[in-house]
Amino acid sequence: MKSVFFILILFITSCSSISQKNMPNYLVGIWASEDVEFRGQFLVKGVAIYLTESGTGAMLAGPPAIGRRIETNYDPVSKIIFYKELDLHDKVVREDSIKYVDESNVFILNSVNNLVLTRKFDVISRKTKRLLKI
């Protein structure tokens, strides 16, 4: 009986760690460049980062809109989001970081000439998540 209880506790603990949030709510959503154009939540022109609560997301640029899925980790002390760009087979093709500036509520993409991104949507629709596979 004790072993069954122990296994149950391990299962519950592992399930709760899987569903933990990696990204704070104030960073979740769609962040985009000033020149952005959307059709709904889909990027048509500009640069956008889509971030989910779990830390998965996508980076897109256009026209035409192309991009990659990303996996992220946020360091609240340095206010830096570290990300890995993934190919179609989920292999890492590039690693980089994004600086969050809380005073002005913007992201700064150092790798794109310090491009500034502002939050355009604070919720990503299920349809958008499904299409981006995030």
* pLDDT, tens digit (0-9, with 9 covering 90-100), for 65-120: 999 999 999 999 999 999 999 999 999 999 999 999 999 999 999 878 899 999 99
What confidence tens digit (pLDDT) does each residue in 49-64 have? 999 999 999 999 999 9
Model pTM score: 0.83
Domain range summary for the chain, segments of one domain joined by +: 22-132
Q: Does residue 16 surpass a pLDDT of 50?
A: no
Q: Does residue 17 surpass a pLDDT of 80?
A: no
- Domain 22-132 top-level CATH class: mainly beta
Q: Among 131, 125, 120, which residue's Cα sits nearest to residue 49?
A: 120
- Helical residues (DSSP H) of the chain, grouped into ranges: 2-18, 126-132
